[in-house]
Amino acid sequence: MNIKASSATEPAENSAGDAFDLIVVGAGVGGLTAALVGALTGQRTLVLEKSATVGGTSARSSGTVWIPGNAYQARAGVDGDATVALGYLDALVGERAPRGMREAFIAAGPEMLDFLQSRTDLAFQPYPFAPDYRQELPGAAEGLRPLEPLPFDGRALGRHFHEVGWPLPELMLFGKMMITRGEAARLLGLGRSARETVQGMALGARLVTRYALDRLRHRRGTRLVLGNALVARLYKNLLDRRVPVWLGSAPTELLRSGGRVSGVRAMRNGIPIELQARNGVVLAGGGFPANPQMRERYLPSPVPQYTAAFEGCTGDTLQIALEAGAALGPSGEDNALWFPSSVFQRKDGSTAVYPHIVLDRAKPGLIAVNAAGKRFVNEGVSYHDFTRAMFRAHGETTCIPAWLICDRRFVWNYGLGAILPRTLRLKPHLKRGYLHSAATLAALAEKIGVEPAGLAGTVRRHNEYARGGVDAEFGKGSGVYDRGNGDPNHRPNPCLGPIETPPFCAMAVYPTPLGTSLGLQTDEAARVLDKEGAPMAGLYACGNDQHSAFGGQYPGAGAQLGLAMVFGYLAAKDAAMHAAGG
């Protein structure tokens, strides 16, 4: 039987038993990296993606890649960071994951970047100030480890532009125009002088003009940044090398022959196909954050009902690996990487899940409380640690959902969730129940089901801390990470401000998995292990299909994509060695 390979690269027809060297299942950043490295090492490579777009959750992400010891650090005069970063990971991860996994990550990270940047147009720039999330641990850095992908012109993809998955519309201006966090700060005026005001206005004019011209021909803006830029650039490099990317192709079974994984069975546009892989199969399906049954089985209670992850991340690739004899890693604290997210219904009836990453929680004039009206965490900690604190607090007092409490002035200055700063009318958000508001704290507490006396006392103490600049309970604004996400113009503490100007506002946030950390157990070369701990020849995993090399811990911005790219690189390199008899 012949099947038409109607992929982005439009290769010639292939028979159902056609052989490739490397087959990659999943087209997120990890899978695309593995495929590109496969092509660059001379392997005939195929990408299978079950959805109609590439990018998965990566396309919705910041695109930041956490790579300690990178060349940008050396250019900035920072030497020996690989050793320092390994010490940081040792302190953070401990016995939660084999040390050899993080050693492999640290060693191969700079090598992966150099390999790709010397052979492709893949390009990043370092964040000079982007502190690691656990600054209290030895070896934590204040910047240069996280790398930001450079903007990409989507028009370079031609008719394939529509095959790049969209970011969340709530994270784009006008619902269809992308900007970076730095650009948003310049447009909103945080820390801006008169000169910077003019520059910000000019930036806004350029971005909007470009967007208006784009919309004459495209469904959204073609200036891609963040995860969309990284995905699109990797995809363009695959297209340029005529690597087939078969969309609408869902794996159903791994083939085995001679004691090794030798290929894949899949359904391609409703047609069963069978494909051989001489060197190996790389699983990069994105874990299972969008699978309700697997969330029920593996994630903590109360089981998360929502996720901002890509809808296709349902664990299909994990299932076919387990059926072939692979083993999952050991269950961890909660088996996921987390966002606190607010939830509302869009006008079209779909559910919006808005991740509260860094734009509101650390700003002055906001607290998070449980059902007793009590704070339970430094609101400025990382999204992962904030959500873990919700679960821990929920064991004593209802904390899911948690409530973000502020006043109208805060919403005007900083926004709240999907509500942008300088929003004049809050009525639409109040009407659909996304935001709650009242003239007094007592009335607000009654509306949201929080204990009124507890909330009043919490706000009173918080306002005292704000006036003195020291959070005596949780230390908000005492660390470099939360201070960096605060308001640099607010004194004496950029993260503490009073809640005192009616009306008072509240928004519910829920734990939502942005990815899962429980995955297929692998060795340092990304080879999947069986139930006896032996490598399964010809089978690899990267991204969230791979069990977290950090044991479910989150060291800094871009850690997930960093792991995905590094182990995607290692998988493809190991497959190439197999081809050479190594």
CA distances for 11 relative to 15, 42, 47, 204, 274, angstroms = 12, 17, 12, 42, 17
5 or 204, higher pLDDT: 204
**Beta bridge pairs of residue 263:** 255, 276
- What CATH number labels 336-513? 3.90.700.10
420 Cβ contact partners less than 8 Å away, ≥ 6 residues apart = none
Stretch (H or E) spanning 383: helix 383-394
| Contact present, 203 and 187 (Cβ < 8 Å) | yes
Residue 14 has pLDDT above 60, yes or no: no
pLDDT (tens digit, 9 = 90+) per residue, 490-502?
999 999 999 999 9
pLDDT tops 60 at residue 582: no
Query: 72-102: per-residue pLDDT in tens?
Result: 999 999 999 999 999 999 999 999 999 999 9
pLDDT band at 192; cut points 50, 70, 90 = low
Over range 125-137, report the average pLDDT. Answer: 97
Write out pLDDT tens, residues 293-348.
999 999 999 999 999 999 999 999 999 999 999 999 999 999 999 999 999 999 99
pLDDT at residue 7 greater than cutoff 90: no
Question: Is 46 a residue whose pLDDT tops 60?
Answer: yes
Instruction: Of 118-122, 167-171, 272-276, 450-454, give the lowest mean pLDDT range.
Output: 167-171
In this prediction the pTM is 0.95
DSSP 250: E
Those residues whose C-beta lies under 8 Å from the C-beta of residue 134, and which sit 6 or more positions away, are: 88, 91, 92, 140, 385, 555
Q: What pLDDT digit, counting tens, does each position of 195-229 carry?
A: 777 888 888 889 999 999 999 999 999 999 999 99
- Tell me the backbone φ, ψ of residue 179, rounded to 5 degrees: -140, 160
Mean per-residue pLDDT, 39-56: 98
Domain positions in the chain are 1-166+227-335+517-582, 179-220, 336-513
Return the CATH number of the domain spanning residue range 1-166+227-335+517-582: 3.50.50.60
214 within 8 A of 221, measured Cβ to Cβ? yes
pLDDT at 507: 98
Mean pLDDT confidence for 361-373: 98
| Per-residue model confidence (pLDDT) at position 187 | 80
Question: Above 90 in pLDDT, residue 103?
Answer: yes
